[in-house]
Structure formats: C-alpha cells, structure tokens
Structure 1
Amino acid sequence: MEITSRKENNTMIVSVQGRIDAVTAPAYESGMKELLEKETLFILDFEKLEYISSAGLRVILATAKSLKAKSGKMVMANVTGTVREVFDISGFGAIFTMYDSIEAALAGME
C-alpha cells in the first residue's frame, strides 16, 4: 500500500494505492493520524485502491470518528469496482459521501 497526500483548496487529498487489509491497515491509520493533527478537511481518493478488507473499513471509520470530534469532514472520490461493492455490501456506502472524481469532491466540500 502506498499513501500520498497533497493540499488543494484547503482540503487534504489523500490517495491510496494498493490494498488496505489487516497487514496494511496499521500503516494507513498511522499515516492518517499524522495528517489529522494538522488538517480537518479530507478527500480520500481510492482510484488506485485495489482491495479493502473489514480491517480497512475499520480504520476508515476510525478516521471519520476522529474528524467528527474535531468538526472536520471527509468524503471519498473514485470508489469503484470491488472496493465500491465492499462499501455497498457493508453499508458504508450509505455512511460516506462519495464522488466520481476529485474535482466533484472538491466542489462538494465548498
């Protein structure tokens, strides 16, 4: 798993590539904790995310809860394929706001 981040329009865009599973979830959580100390607006870009497990869903939910405590906001972009299926089957698709592109997510943050 690889995580990259960049800031645009006061929003941190976090791109995740590869897999978020039991092995990589702690690294995702650690990386996000660092960003959460400085930022409150996030777009998770899952365009290159190939797989997410229940451990991955758990750390995403933990991120959302941490942001909520700080009055922050997190949305997702480019959630497609099997990753989207996991979100929909688990009910997470109804919990999180999802956009088809980063541009649409940025517009939705305003």
Structure 2
Amino acid sequence: MTINKKRNGNTLNVSIEGRLDTGTTPEAEKELKGCLDDITELNLDFSHLDYISSAGLRLLLSLQKTMNTRGSMKIQHPNDVVKEIFEVTGFSDILTVE
C-alpha cells in the first residue's frame, strides 16, 4: 500500500494505492489520523485502490466521524470492486462517493 498526501490550506487530498486490509489499515490509520488536526476537507482518491476489507471500512467510518465535526470527507474515483463493497455493506449510503 502506498499513501500520497497533498495539503492545500485546510484541505487534505490523499491517494491510496494497493489494498486497504487487515495488514495495511493500521499503517493507514496512523498516517491519516495524525494529520487531521486543522483539516476541514478530506478527499480520498481511491482510483488506485484495488481492494478494501472490513478493517479498511472501519477506518473510513472513523475518519467520517472525525470529519463530521470538522467539515467534510469525500471518496473519489473508486473502482467497480470497491464500489460494489460500498453498496453491499451500505457504505454508499453513509459516505460521499464521487
């Protein structure tokens, strides 16, 4: 898994490549949660995310909960596999997916 972050004022754009699963989610959580203090807009680019497991979904819920108190969070460009996971789990109803 590779995480690329680009900050623009109070906006954080994050691209995640590879898999967000039980093995990689703790690293992603550490990487992301530590840089949200003054962020009001979090954009997660999933165009190169191959797969997301329940561990990754829990991280998204946690990030969404944090961002609900500060601003907004968007999931951008998920592939068909990730979109299907969001739809089957109901996450497409609680996350902003573009």
Q: TM-score, normalised by structure 2?
A: 0.92
Which residue identity lines up with residue 96 of structure 2 in the other structure? Answer: T
Question: How do 1:26-41 residues align onto structure 2 when only pairs under 5 Å count?
Answer: 26-41=26-41
Q: Which runs of 5+ in 2 are unaligned?
A: none
Q: How many residues align?
A: 98
Matched, 1:94 2:87: no
Aligned-partner Cα distance in 2 for 1:97–1:14: 15
Aligned-partner Cα distance in 2 for 1:20–1:78: 15
Q: Which runs of 5+ in 1 are unaligned?
A: 100-110
Superposed displacement of residue 9, structure 1: 6.8
Q: Specify the alignment match of 2:4 in structure 1.
A: 4
Q: Specify the alignment match of 2:16 in structure 1.
A: 16
Instruction: Name the CA shift for 1:9/1:77 in 2 (closer, same or farther; >3 Å).
Output: farther
Aligned-partner Cα distance in 2 for 1:9–1:98: 22
Superposed displacement of residue 8, structure 1: 4.1
Aligned-partner Cα distance in 2 for 1:10–1:65: 17
Aligned-partner Cα distance in 1 for 2:4–2:24: 15
CA RMSD between the two structures: 1.3
Q: Specify the alignment match of 2:52 in structure 1.
A: 52
Which residue identity lines up with residue 49 of structure 1 in the other structure? Answer: L
Aligned-partner Cα distance in 2 for 1:79–1:7: 21
Matched, 1:79 2:85: no
Q: Is this contact kept in 1: 2:2–2:17, CA < 8 A?
A: yes
% identical aligned pairs:
39
